[in-house]
Amino acid sequence: GIQVEQSPPDLILQEGANSTLRCNFSDSVNNLQWFHQNPWGQLINLFYIPSGTKQNGRLSATTVATERYSLLYISSSQTTDSGVYFCAADTDKLIFGTGTRLQVFP
Amino acid sequence: KAGVTQTPRYLIKTRGQQVTLSCSPISGHRSVSWYQQTPGQGLQFLFEYFSETQRNKGNFPGRFSGRQFSNSRSEMNVSTLELGDSALYLCASTVDGRLNTEAFFGQGTRLTVV
């Protein structure tokens, strides 16, 4: 089955810094989603992005389907950005990566 | 509009018991999927229901089962609980799970088996 890998596994930033999270997938997928898991466990939708680039405020995402990767950019990070970020490859179900744990300090 | 609602939020059960978790999808969404999240295995797909039928199933033992009602609400059941079933169980709803697959998750049910 499809393998989804995320890097880096951990990221520590100071408030205001920018970061790039990467998601590689091993085969063609129907779609790709990015989520932020809040401290209470809920997965919050960030992007639903099969290809191209989307932006939402300080966050943007780019998926290059032909090269089987997606990137999540966080600019001017804030402490509220802390948490775990997951990408999920959409086949006939979601295959999740192992996540990137982001900690943003003031 | 209301999001995905999962109940209960927390559960503590004893080994050997059974448990039923509930998920109400977003209004108009007909596909409901269930996922298990553990520190060791990460997020894993359990099963998907659409129009009251199980359409897809992950690699979990038969102790894990589910169903969907005509109003698209879904329940999952775990029988003969084991310590390893302790996990966060997340439910996702999509419009149809095939053409429109953007998934929206509930807050989860955290199950502890003692």
User: Is the separation of the CB atoms in A70 and A61 below 8 Å?
Assistant: yes
Whether B99 shows a pLDDT value over 80: the answer reads: no
Check residue B96 and give its pLDDT: 85
Check residue B34 and give its pLDDT: 98
pLDDT single digits (tens) B68-97: 999 999 999 999 999 999 999 999 999 987
Asked if A48's CB is within 8 angstroms of B102's CB, the reply is yes
DSSP conformation letters of A47-99? EE-SSEEEEETTEEEEEEGGGTEEEEEE-S--GGG-EEEEEEEESSSEEE---
Mean pLDDT (chain B, rounded): 95
Asked if A41's CB is within 8 angstroms of B90's CB, the reply is yes
DSSP B84: G
Average the pLDDT over A58-71 and give the result: 97
Asked if A94's CB is within 8 angstroms of B92's CB, the reply is yes
In whole angstroms, what is the distance from residue A101 CA to residue A91 CA? 24
Asked if A93's CB is within 8 angstroms of B58's CB, the reply is yes
pLDDT single digits (tens) B11-30: 999 999 999 999 999 999 99
Strand partners, B68: B74
pLDDT single digits (tens) A11-21: 999 999 999 99
Residues in chain B with CB shorter than 8 Å from the CB of A83 are none
Closest CA of chain B from A89, distance in Å: 11
Residue B40 near chain A (CB below 8 Å)? no
Q: Any idea which residue has 């039923």 for tokens?
A: B20
Q: A50: Cβ–Cβ under 8 A, 6 or more apart, which residues?
A: A29, A30, A31, A32, A63, A65
Residues in chain A with CB shorter than 8 Å from the CB of B21 are none
Confidence of residue B61 (pLDDT cuts 50, 70, 90): very high
Asked if A95's CB is within 8 angstroms of B45's CB, the reply is yes
Residues in chain B with CB shorter than 8 Å from the CB of A87 are none
